[in-house]
Amino acid sequence: MWWHDALCQQVGLYPFYAYDEDDDGSPDPATARAAIEVCHRCPVIAECLADAMREEAHDVCNRHGIRGGLSAHQRRELGKRHAVA
């Protein structure tokens, strides 16, 4: 399975979900950027993003954190663009 090669499994998942855990709910840009940089070096970024988009299309409550190099907001926007196309 693709997630066996996930780079976030090696660095720890905290930076990928710290994005959503601020007291006021706003993103922590530095932490999010660090997580996205890891994604951009990840060998399974395409598979990860495809999986996230598939899952989140059916369960918007599941849309959080950094996945496939995109924030939850960016994936929501990407999903909207695909829905229109």
> Residues interacting with ligand SF4, by CB under 6 A?
6-8, 16, 38-39, 42, 44-45, 48, 66-69
Question: Smallest gap, in angstroms, from Cβ of residue 78 to ligand SF4?
Answer: 14
Q: Tokens 């007291």 appear where? A: 23
Please provide residue 67's backbone torsions phi and psi, each rounded to the nearest 5 degrees: -140, 135
At residue 64, the 3 state secondary structure works out as coil
Question: Smallest gap, in angstroms, from Cβ of residue 22 to ligand SF4?
Answer: 19
Contact call for residues 44 and 6 (beta carbons, < 8 A): yes
With respect to ligand SF4, which residue has the nearer C-beta, 10 or 82?
10
